[in-house]
Structure 1
Amino acid sequence: MKKILVLGANGKIARLAEKEFLEQTDDQLVLFLRNSSRLSVADSDREQVVEGDTTNVKQLEDVLDGVDVVYANLAGDNIKDQAAAVTTAMNEKNVKRLIWISTIGIYDEVPGKFGEWNNSVLDGYLQKYRAAADVIEGTDLDFTIIRPAWLTDKDEIDFEITQKGEDFKGTEVSRKSIAHVVVEVAQNNTEIRHSIGVNKPGTDGDKPAWY
């Protein structure tokens, strides 16, 4: 059994990951988010809801006692500041394992016309998320950075992985697939100090088919 701290616990991927953690593991979950009234728990014996700010190091330190894995499902223009606060708090509390959701294209790893389209649509956004990734990669934490393709709500688990330095594949992936990857790497302690791209096989194109 592990104790998992979920940051941004009401996000769409986070909610799917929480469901899988509850159904497929015996892990305990600490659900951390800005507005706790938005979230209801499915299992009060295994889930604890904590309201807080992911840029507040002290608040983060207060919820890190006994935590084995931090799973961060965060967003916002201040994402670099959030990364700095999370990694600082983890270092202070000697918690090593971090799973961090980022985005496609932060290393300019998307080839061809899809890469050009992605860069143009996400201009400004990519730079902020790259800065956050740089903060994490500059630590000695056992991190896994996950870079999803464009997200769908399809009820499927179907994915392939590319590593940093490799060309990204595909254009889309389901949120359910990303949630499954989160649970897998948390349970199996894999992809340590890796930044992984995740896409659905066979979805290559100039942009997502549904866009």
Structure 2
Amino acid sequence: MAAKILVLGASGAIAQHVIEDLKDDKNIALTLFARNINGLQEQAPNAVIIKGDVLNKEDLQEAVKGQDIVYANLIGQVDKMAGEIVKTMEAEKVQRLIFITSLGIYHEIPGKFGQWNDRMIGADLVRYRHAADIIEGSALNYTVIRPSWLTDKNETDFETTQKGEPFTGTEVSRKAVAAYIVSLLKNQEKDNHASVGVQKPGSQGDKPSFY
């Protein structure tokens, strides 16, 4: 029986790579949810497409009901969205959540790179940390993903760190983060109840190479 996977924020750049990897997999039934659904049906003809807003309870409930896995790729009020997703999943008895946040939410980046990261996105990290706290405090089987600074390079190399370990890689491609997400979706024993940093091997430095 095909695994039912809901992608929230399906028009996002990382999600687009995930969808591309999964759209022809006969063992997966995709539901794609976004505020702007333009092009999604053409990209994934076999997927169910839902136009909606995560912060609209009826939209979210319709999308979550009956799913096996929810993968959230969201921007904006991520903490408020995390709260609504957790409540809806718990109500609908859907257990598995994969949720993208940001590097730096636990002050886990040492040295000059950590200082640079705080200067650049410190204000945004409050919302991402709150989102992670909500998810980690839930009854769900979650994987919180903390990608490094994102590039559009055509590469899929990545390495991971666990919560409590130093995060040192300054960048990673969106395609590589997508490859990690696909590995989670296809192996449901991997990184359960975990917060995982994703970085490009060998990308340590004081800041990303493109700054």
TM-score past 0.5 threshold: yes
| Matched ranges for 1:46-61 at <5 A | 46-61=46-61
Q: Which residue of 2 aligns with 1:139?
A: 138
Cα distance change, pair 101–58 in 1 and its aligned pair in 2 (3 A): same
Q: Counterparts of 1:106 and 1:47 in 2: how far apart (Å)?
A: 33
Is residue 80 of structure 1 aligned with residue 79 of structure 2? yes
Q: What residue in structure 2 maps to residue 179 of structure 1?
A: 178
Equivalent residue, structure 2, for 1:35? 36
Percent identity at matched positions?
Answer: 46
Cα distance in 2 between the residues matched to 1:79 and 1:42: 26
Give the match's secondary structure for 1:29. strand
Rounded to whole Å, the distance in 2 between the matches of 1:134 and 1:48 is 31
**Using the alignment, how far apart are the partners of 1:23 and 1:52 within structure 2?**
24
For the 8 Å contact 2:54–2:81, the answer to whether it is kept is: yes
C-alpha deviations, 1:61-86, integer Å up to 9, x for none?
Answer: 1122321110000011x211100111
Indicate the SS of the match to 2:94. coil
Letter in 1 for 2:9: G
Distance of aligned partners of 1:95 and 1:123 in 2 relative to their CA distance in 1, 3 Å threshold: same
Alpha-carbon distance in 2 for matches of 1:207, 1:72:
27
Asked if the contact 1:169/1:201 (under 8 Å) is kept, the reply is no
Unmatched runs of 5 consecutive residues or more in structure 2? none
* Paired residue secondary structure (1:20): helix
Deviates more, 1:51-60 or 1:138-147: 51-60
CA distance in structure 1 between the partners assigned to 2:25 and 2:152 by the alignment: 20
Cα offset for 1:25? 5.7
Aligned equivalents of 2:42, 2:110: Cα separation in 1: 41
Displacement of 1:7 after TM fit? Answer: 0.3
Partner Cα distance (1:24, 1:154) in 2: 24
TM-score by length of 1: 0.95
Quote the residue 1:12 is aligned against: 13
What are the superposed Cα offsets for residues 125-151 of structure 1, whole Å, 9 maximum, x if unpaired? Answer: 001100111110110100000100000
Distance 1:137 1:94 in 2: 17
Aligned to 1:167: 166
CA–CA separation in structure 2 for the residues paired with 1:41 and 1:97: 27
- The alpha carbon displacement at 1:30 in A equals 0.6
AA of the residue aligned to 2:113: F
C-alpha distance in 1, partners of 2:150/2:101? 12
Q: 1:41, CA displacement in angstroms?
A: 3.0
RMSD: 1.2
TM-score, length basis structure 2: 0.95
TM superposition shift of 1:40? 3.8
